[in-house]
Amino acid sequence: MTTDERAQETGRPRQQPPVVIAAVSIWAVVLVERIVVFSVMSVLSALREPDLLPATVVAWVLGLGICALLAWATLLVWRGSGTARVWLGVMGAFAVVNVVVVALTGNASWLTLEAVAVIAAAVLLWLPSARPWFPRVERRPRVQEPRTIGWDPQTGERITEPREVADPR
């Protein structure tokens, strides 16, 4: 089955909608900026406080790990993953909280723009024009379990009705 046939079966567009391209681009720019800031701040911190070098390295590795997870989620969104879209939306919600706290405390800086960009990218993924790129997964029906009739007094095991009664196919 070709990609075009698969796209026609699922109703999914062949190319990413422009809003998905914009959102992924914003996430990519934010991630590159975050990696540069983490690296520069880690080097500056290590130069200022050589005693804290192990803590600086641990913080740098954790920061890059989080960036790697977000980059992976961004790649999955590019491919059409609805779950990754939800997780990037959660990150956008955290960014909203961050912007509100920074605005209320009056400590806004140029780093606040990063949070605003994350919010914009998260919102773009939930616009109606982006929905066709994230097809809904059909739910599979659950197997009907047999009904419990009682419990065996000697073993304590469950007594169920026969399968033929439980599954009337």
Strands (E), the chain: 148-151, 158-160
What is the model's pTM? Answer: 0.70
Q: How does strand 158-160 pair with strand 148-151?
A: antiparallel
**Taking the C-alpha atoms of 7, 79, 90 and 99 in order, what is their torsion angle to the nearest 10 degrees?**
-110
* 76-101 pLDDT per residue, tens: 999 988 889 999 999 999 989 988 88
* 110-153 pLDDT per residue, tens: 778 888 999 999 999 999 998 888 887 777 888 888 888 888 88
80: phi > 0 → left, psi -120 to 50 → alpha, else beta; which?
left
* 35-86 pLDDT per residue, tens: 998 889 888 888 888 888 888 889 889 989 999 999 999 999 999 888 899 9
Q: How confident is the model at residue 164 (pLDDT cuts 50, 70, 90)?
A: low
Q: How confident is the model at residue 9 (pLDDT cuts 50, 70, 90)?
A: low
